[in-house]
Amino acid sequence: MGGYAQFVWGAFGVWFVCMIFNIIAARRRFRFSVERATMATMRQQHRMSRKMKQNEARK
């Protein structure tokens, strides 16, 4: 590689580390988003069931 091997392989190493970090970060964000959406859905269902019970109690 004409004496540039350390720079070429170093650049490949940095690229590889960045790609791995990017994959891990994307998976963590996705998992957090799914958990957040699940919690929001559960809260909404709880509110709806509470409202239905209140309406039934008024009748």
Domain count, the chain: 1
Q: pLDDT digits over 10-56, tens only?
A: 999 999 999 999 999 999 999 999 999 999 999 999 999 988 878 77
Residue 28 is assigned to a structural domain of this protein: yes
Alpha carbons 37 and 42: distance in angstroms, whole number: 9
- Burial tier of 36 (Cβ tally within 10 Å: 0-12, 13-18, 19+): exposed
The two most distant CA atoms of the chain are separated, in Å, by 87
pTM over 0.75: no
Structural domain that includes position 33? 23-59
Residue 54 is assigned to a structural domain of this protein: yes
- Burial tier of 2 (Cβ tally within 10 Å: 0-12, 13-18, 19+): exposed
Residue 35 is assigned to a structural domain of this protein: yes
Residue 37 is assigned to a structural domain of this protein: yes
